[in-house]
Structure 1
Amino acid sequence: MQFAPGTNWSYAHTTFMILGDILAKVGNKPLDQLLDEEVFTPMGLKNTVSSVTSTVPEPALHTFSSERRPAFAVRGKAFYEEATYWNTQWGTPMGANETTTIDDLATTAISFGTGSLLSPSSYQEMTDSTLIGFGKKDPGCVPSCFTQVPIYNYGLGVIRSEPWIMQNPLLSGIGVTTAYLLSEKCPTPWRSPSPLAGSTPRATTRTAPTTCSGPSAPW
């Protein structure tokens, strides 16, 4: 154990793995089926599908990563490799590894930004700001543990960035920001290759055809 419960905060994929297993057992169905029935279909998502392999439906945005530079002991020169078809199942519960489109990302942003599938109390729990000021850096869990601040703090499964509600996963060369500005009722999904150390990304970014007139986005 990195620290005593209630004394610090740390991001970890293991919590998602445990939650996925609990949901499948409580729902008495595979997680991908539960997600489709309880989340994707009610949201109206048309192109979001589950996969346990590295399959990505075409056309796919190709991505590149330099994260294996240390493993290959590459020093003093640019290094990147294609990561489009790396299997990201390792970081999510079985059944929660999804591929999607920019349109479905925009739909998702609206749904979690407004809490359309949640009760008022559950939405409050998801977006509450009680963690601001909590947490601290610790040698045993850096960089996963840090102090929650107004510009970047966690709710329940979402990130709060002042007026924005968002998520910004980074995995296998793919960086995605899906955000919702409640005051403007504005979804802003943005997907791009992750920055490459010592080189220039070679893939094209994609943005949704939406603009927000409120405060600047935090990315």
Structure 2
Amino acid sequence: MRATVLWGAVVIAATMTSISACTAGPPEDAASPSESAPAADGAECPDGTSEAEALCVADTDEARAAADVVRSVFESESLGSVIIGVWRAGDPLLVGALGETLTGVPATVDMHHRTGNVGHSMVETVLLQQVEKGTVALDDPLSKYLPDLPSADQITIDMVAHSTSGYQQYTIVPEFQSKLYEDPFARWDIDDVIAYGVDGGPMYTPGTDWNFSDTNILILAQVLEVATGTPIADLVQEGIFDPLGMDETTSPANAYLPDPILHAYTGERGVWEEATFWEPSWTSFAGGWGSTQDDLRTLIEAVGTGALLSDESHEMQLAPTSVGLGTNTDERYYGMGISVVNDWLLTAPGLQGYHASVGYLRDQELTVVIYFTTTPEYDTSNRSTLLFEPLSAILAPENAVDLG
């Protein structure tokens, strides 16, 4: 068992990779594209598209080429299901779903699923909103809010927000992994989760290096609760979900997902099994949210345009301050809760059987939301950007993403 890390550190899945030794289980066979649903049950294709081999596709060469890639990868890489949406300037180029959520039940675009570390951008956005209000200052010492954390007097809120605190990624700690896999339905106390990440103190002098760490996001959530006296779930609801109308996104308070549900499967524990309702409290506000294609499209576009922040805060969220630290370069760097890869704003999580790419290219107003599940035959060495990378080469050749 080990943490899934993509191209060193800048786009990272905050969970473990699947173990290769799997036994067959449901769904036994992925549906062929012709058996899948292009949209929600009973829904027609969006205006400007028409159904073509189970996907809603615009009448353009690039849209048809993108659809061909999705169908090809779905078949060749043994995926169980794919939910995909591509829009340029608000117009749909490609929307649809392939495969099955359960045996005999087609996947549809309105299905709910775990988000993975898309949650980072939510927490960081709320942080910047509170900075604008004067509730928190980025140069505040962490000790002002959480004095009991190791080296809290040497770490600023800005360091936590930019992943330069030195606190390690808790999912790579063997003791954490063992406990998680012993009972994936057990509830976790966030203080216990954070303890795995801060044990032993910072890995380097705070502010001098960079490492991806969900630990930082969980700490930021606690800082915001202490500073405001308001639960982080309420801050996200008021600061993000309400103004954006994200009515289909649910908190990680428990394993509940509303119907319809995209079921996920994994071999992480050495046997192929369903993981849809594994308890998400271990990842909490970093990655345990439930959501849909439409809501995540709304979110990434808001992050990309700065709709929820002042111009100054928006610039700060995407600034290349991490370049030169860790694995960050001018072409691939981590901002505040979001990666910037060849000008794409990109998150590529993997969580409990869900694999995803959520991206926005600002100068083209190009949005891509992809979530997929797998079968026992899937090659677990693949990246979560398995579909996103070839699609980016078709949709925006000058901004193609290659994380190999």
TM score, norm. by length of structure 2? 0.43
Distance 2:331 2:259 in 1: 36
- Corresponding residue number in structure 2 for 1:60: 261
135, 157, 173: which one pairs with 2:337?
157
Listed one character per residue, the Cα deviations across residues 71-104 of structure 1 (whole Å, up to 9, x for unaligned) are xxxxxxxx4221111112211249x842111111
Match of 1:186 in 2: 366
* Corresponding position of 1:73: none
Match of 2:214 among 13, 16, 19: 13
Q: Distance in 1 between matches of 2:307 and 2:230?
A: 23
Q: CA deviation at 1:132?
A: 2.2
**Match status 1:84 vs 2:285:** no
Which whole-Å CA distance do the structure 1 matches of 2:223 and 2:207 have between them?
22
Q: In the TM superposition, what whole-angstrom CA distance separates every residue of 1:191-218 from its partner, at most 9, and x where no partner exists? A: 112x67x7238xxxx99xxx98423355
Alignment of 1:22-33 (within 5 A): 22-33=223-234
| RMSD, matched Cα | 2.7
2:322/2:333 contact within 8 Å kept: yes
Determine whether 1:177 maps to 2:357. yes
Kept after mapping to 1: 8 A contact 2:253/2:284: no
Runs of 4+ in 1 over 4 A off after TM superposition: none
Residue by residue over 1:135-187, the C-alpha shift from the partner in whole angstroms, topping out at 9 and shown as x without a partner, is 1xxxxxxxxxxx11344320011111011012122221212221101011121
In the alignment, which residue of structure 2 is the partner of 1:139?
A: none
Q: Secondary structure at the match of 1:89?
A: coil
Aligned to 1:99: 290
Q: Does 1:199 align with 2:377?
A: yes
Structure 1 pair 218/57, CA: closer, same or farther in 2 (3 Å)? Answer: farther
Inter-partner Cα distance in structure 2 for 1:113 and 1:130: 17
Matched residues, number: 190
Report the CA distance shift for 1:92/1:151 in structure 2 as closer, same or farther (over 3 A): farther
- Distance in 1, Cα, partners of 2:333 & 2:230: 33
From 111, 132, 146, the counterpart of 2:323:
132
Structure 2 letter corresponding to 1:127: L
Could you say which structure has the larger radius of gyration? 2
C-alpha displacement of 1:6: 2.6
Q: Which one-letter code corresponds to 2:377 in the other structure? A: S
Give the superposition deviation at 1:27.
Answer: 2.2
1:113 maps onto 2:297 in alignment = no
Q: Which amino acid aligns with 1:43?
A: L
Q: Distance in 1 between matches of 2:285 and 2:298?
A: 22
Task: Output the amino acid matched with 1:133.
Answer: G
8 A contact 1:131–1:155 mirrored in 2: yes
Among all aligned residue pairs of Structure 1 and Structure 2, give the percentage whose two residues are the same amino acid. Answer: 28
| Pairwise CA distance, 1:68 | 2.2
**Contact preservation (8 Å) 2:349, 2:356:** yes
Which residues of structure 1 form unaligned runs of 5+? Answer: 70-78, 136-146
Distance in 2 (alpha carbons) for counterparts of 1:27 and 1:218: 41
Please state how far the C-alpha of 1:42 moved relative to its aligned partner. 0.9
Q: In 2, Cα distance between the equivalents of 1:187 and 1:84?
A: 26
Contact 1:8 1:134 in 2 (8 A): yes
**CA 127–5 in structure 1, closer or farther in 2 if over 3 Å, else same:** same
Gaps in structure 2 of 5+ consecutive residues: 1-201, 380-386
Measure the CA separation in 2 of the matches of 1:29 and 1:180: 31
Shifted more, 34-43 versus 169-178: the winner is 169-178
Q: Distance in 2 between matches of 1:108 and 1:217?
A: 21
| Residue pair 1:106, 1:187 contacting (<8 A) in 2 also | yes
> Structure 2: how far apart are the matches of 1:50 and 1:34?
12
TM norm structure 1: 0.77
| Structure-1 separation of matches of 2:402 and 2:315 | 22
Tell me which amino acid in the other structure corresponds to 1:125: M
Shift of 1:117: 0.6
- Pairing 1:216–2:400 present: yes
Task: Give, in whole Å, the separation in 1 of the partners of 2:229 and 2:288.
Answer: 19
